[in-house]
Amino acid sequence: MKTINRFFVVLAIALLLSNTSTIAQEQTRPEFVTITTMHWNMDNKDFKMEDWKAVEKEFLDKITMKNEYIAASSFYLHRMTPDNTEVVYVQSYPSWEAIGEAAKRNAELAKTAWPDENARKAFFKKRDAYYSPMHSDEIYATMPNAKTMTAKPTKDMICYVRKGHFAYGEGADEEFDATSKEYFDNVTNKNEFVKAYYPMAHAWGSDRTEFLEAFFFDSMADLESMFDRDTELFEAHWKDEASRKSMGEKGAKYFDNRHGDYIYTYVAGLAK
């Protein structure tokens, strides 16, 4: 049942991206998310985590918090991923145009924060020294049925990311919309271990089949407890084997069999 249940956590949201009328109605939700995967500069022999946090906090306070085009931002550190050098930086925007405007606004705010050019260059040189020159960027479109954080976290959290892939085959949007909403309302949204849940789908990047689900937890223990609780909620709503099988057959049309799992630490003090 855990395998079936995890499949339906994937099923719950993904193809709702195609329902543009639904997206247009949700004006309060940012439209796009940029995910920049950076890497630590492993040659930085003077690295201290608290010093890095202080530098990024200064940038957050002087630039990001004052940039009206950036709806939110956050940092994520490797916990259980294939690459321990990863530093993931996530920003969300109210529109596609805001992505470009945010970059221009950052440059303006930097000049205001450090009017002296030498001081400004010194700060960014210090900031850049923490990272390798190599990084990658992806842009995702946000999707309906997110479970949003009730309050800004005051401590680090666990962020579990599930990366899946669409199978562009048969299936009707109406069927998927109804099925996915039913699952979200009765399982994901009711699971008390899941403090927040954000689904998003590829908008610009290397793989158009890609979609992500980001789950937030207070602890690793709560992440593990989510699976058992999902099963309980799933069986409470779909009470017989026939109805569970029917859900599985509907959902199988929309996805291929690939997925990846990643666990990060959300850095509470560096978030907008």
Encode pLDDT of 112-157 as tens digits.
999 999 999 999 999 999 999 999 999 999 988 899 998 999 999 9
What share of the chain in percent tops pLDDT 90? 72
pLDDT at site 19: 37
| Number of domains, the chain | 2
Q: Residue 139: which residues within 8 A CB-CB, separation 6 or more?
A: 32, 33, 34, 35, 99, 203, 204, 205
| Residue 177 clears pLDDT 90, i.e. is over it | no
Please return the burial class of 24, using the count of CB atoms within 10 Å of its CB with bins 0-12, 13-18 and 19+.
exposed
pTM of the shown model: 0.87
Range of the domain at 105: 32-137
Residue 217 has pLDDT above 80, yes or no: yes
Residue 261, burial from CB neighbour count under 10 angstroms (0-12, 13-18, 19+): exposed
- For residue range 218-248, list pLDDT tens digits in order: 999 999 999 999 999 999 999 999 999 988 7
Domain final residue, candidates 115, 137, 159:
137
> What's the CATH code of the domain at 176?
3.30.70.100
Q: Please indicate, yes or no, whether residues 155 and 241 belong to a single structural domain of this protein.
A: yes
Class of residue 17 by CB neighbours under 10 A (exposed 0-12, middle 13-18, buried 19+):
buried
Q: Which residues contact 151 (CB under 8 A, 6 or more apart)?
A: none
- C-alpha span between 163 and 165 (Å, rounded): 7
Domain finish residue from 93, 109, 137: 137
Amino acid code (one letter) for 1: M
pLDDT digits (tens, 9 = 90+) for 3-52: 334 444 444 333 333 333 333 334 478 999 999 999 999 999 989 999 99
Three-state secondary-structure class, residue 255:
strand
